[in-house]
Amino acid sequence: MLCQFTFDNFRSYRDETTFDMQASAMKEFQESLIIDDKDGQAFLPVSVIFGPNAGGKSNLFLAMHRMFDAVSYPIFLLSRKEEAAKDVPRPKVKGTDAFRFDNIHPNKPSDFEVYFRTKGQEFRYTLSFDAKGITSESLARKNVGGTRTGVLFERTGDEVELGSVLKRARVNTSFNVDIPYLSFLALNYDIEFIDMAAEWIASTQFIDFDFRLQELILEKMLEQDDESAIVGILKAAGINIDGFRVEGDEDDFENKRVWVRHIVNGKPYELRLNKESAGTRKMMSMAVALDDALKKGSLLLIDELDSKLHPKLLRFIIMLFQDPDINKNGAQLIFTSQDVSIMRNDVFRRDEIWFAARDENEASTLWSLSDIHEPNGNLVSKNAAFDRQYLSGRYGADPILDRLLYWEED
């Protein structure tokens, strides 16, 4: 489970920013919370980020993706080296994408920190890099419910200091300094805590839908054994699809095609995926990721989830993660949205609603509805009309333009 993600100096985010999936003490929808049996800590199954265009919603996701991909991509690339027909390029962490609207931050590193739990362990992983490469990195762990934290390693530049676990494992500290040390360890050693951390990071799915990506995701992830589960999700969402098949050689990814089967008047008909409606294509692609996340209990992030989806479909997807009878493995969904119709007290807890917007210095800020106080000093009521108050500007980050431009014809 994701506990908390903190970062600074990345794209539109200048200052340290924290996104939290640990549930507050608020009482609403307690039955939907994910409870860790080892210590009773409660976590949110869903969170949504609202805000104006260019406010920083997507950049939060990009920050998480940049950090997670820095770890996962070298592992994916180098673990397939023996299968590749050509030489594998030397992996390297992508250069920083620092805040650009002052004279200080473009020359400073971007910093990332993630707390997460998996298999009875709580990990804290940090990674910082600038335009030249990785400047620092660390990994620490403790038993969930325990008080003693053990440092696995700390890295500054090219130098690595090992904790007791890795010292006993006699791991090498000479490595490709262009990649995270966590990636190096996961590739070259069989160490339980390292594998736990790397596998959790790699299991996180990031989805930003466009036309071709929808089909590629489906074609890449589809397995015949998953058909019944995926079709079950689609039918539960009210999409009348009987099944699908993938055409083409599994080694010829670019030429694969997905055909969707419909039953009309008792007869089967097939339609190319690219001939289906945009909403159906999106829902089909999403069903693969939804099924995978719910089965594995993993983290799923979807940018603009509401785009091309009916509000009832959107609420159906939210319900999949909020219903403990469906979400039995503690999966989490984080998404961005412009659909204010779901900003309701019968859909979300207050700590599940977040806002992102830029200030007068073009720096994005991020805050939760649970942190907002009314003029009288009280927190926003759990019974408040969240959507109306948001549109009235009481929460900030409202999409209403500050001014309209008028012109007259001469």
pLDDT (tens digit, 9 = 90+) per residue, 265-295? 999 999 987 788 877 777 887 888 898 999 9
Range with the lowest mean pLDDT among 157-166, 220-229, 274-283, 377-386?
A: 220-229
Is a pLDDT exceeding 80 seen at residue 320? Answer: yes
Is a pLDDT exceeding 50 seen at residue 348? Answer: yes
pLDDT of residue 372: 95
pTM: 0.90
Cα separation, 110 vs 115, whole angstroms? 17
Residue 1 in tokens: 């489970």
Domain map of the chain by residue range? 1-204+298-400, 212-296
8 Å CB contact between 23 and 42: yes
pLDDT of residue 280: 79
**What's the average model confidence in pLDDT over 322-339?**
96
Q: Which residue has the higher pLDDT, 214 or 152?
A: 152
Residue 198, phi then psi, degrees to nearest 5: -65, -40
pLDDT of residue 398: 67
What is the Cβ-side half-sphere exposure of residue 57, based on CA atoms within 13 angstroms? 25
Cα separation, 43 vs 352, whole angstroms? 10
**What's the average model confidence in pLDDT over 345-355?**
98
pLDDT of residue 252: 63
pLDDT of residue 229: 78
pLDDT of residue 151: 98
pLDDT (tens digit, 9 = 90+) per residue, 216-267? 556 555 666 677 877 888 888 888 899 888 787 666 666 777 788 999 999 9
Is a pLDDT exceeding 80 seen at residue 373? Answer: yes
Nearest by Cα to 6 from 16, 105, 15: 16
* Distance spanning both ends of the chain, measured CA to CA: 61
8 Å CB contact between 56 and 356: yes
Range with the lowest mean pLDDT among 126-135, 193-202, 347-356, 398-407?
A: 398-407
Confidence tier at 363 by pLDDT (50, 70, 90)? very high
**What's the average model confidence in pLDDT over 384-398?**
89
Percent of the chain exceeding pLDDT 90 equals 67
Query: How much is the mean pLDDT over the chain?
Result: 88
pLDDT of residue 83: 45
pLDDT (tens digit, 9 = 90+) per residue, 46-99? 999 999 988 999 999 999 999 999 999 999 888 765 444 445 566 777 777 999
Cα separation, 299 vs 206, whole angstroms? 9
Is a pLDDT exceeding 60 seen at residue 172? Answer: yes
Is a pLDDT exceeding 90 seen at residue 214? Answer: no
Is a pLDDT exceeding 50 seen at residue 26? Answer: yes
Residue 178 in tokens: 């262009």
Is a pLDDT exceeding 50 seen at residue 401? Answer: no
pLDDT of residue 84: 44
pLDDT of residue 288: 81
SS (H, E, C) the chain: CEEEEEEECECCECCCEEEECECCCCCCCHHHCEECCCCCCEECCEEEEECCCCCCHHHHHHHHHHHHHHHHHHHHHHHCCCCCCCCCCCCCCCCCCCCCCCCCHHHCCEEEEEEEEECCEEEEEEEEEECCEEEEEEEEEEECCCCCCEEEEEEECCEEEECHHHHHCCCCCCCCCCCCHHHHHHHHCCCHHHHHHHHHHHHCEEEECCHHHHHHHHHHHCCHHHHHHHHHHHHHCCCCCCEEEEECCCCCHHHCEEEEEEEECCEEEEEEHHHCCHHHHHHHHHHHHHHHHHHHCCEEEEECCCCCCCHHHHHHHHHHHHCCCCCCCCCEEEEECCCHHHCCCCCCCHHHEEEEEECCCCCEEEEEHHHCECCCCCECCCCCCHHHHHHCCCCCCCCCCCCCCCCCCC
For the segment(s) 1-204+298-400, the CATH number from 1.10.1740, 1.10.472, 1.10.3470, 3.40.50 is: 3.40.50
pLDDT of residue 220: 58
pLDDT of residue 213: 54
Is a pLDDT exceeding 50 seen at residue 20? Answer: yes
Is a pLDDT exceeding 60 seen at residue 322? Answer: yes
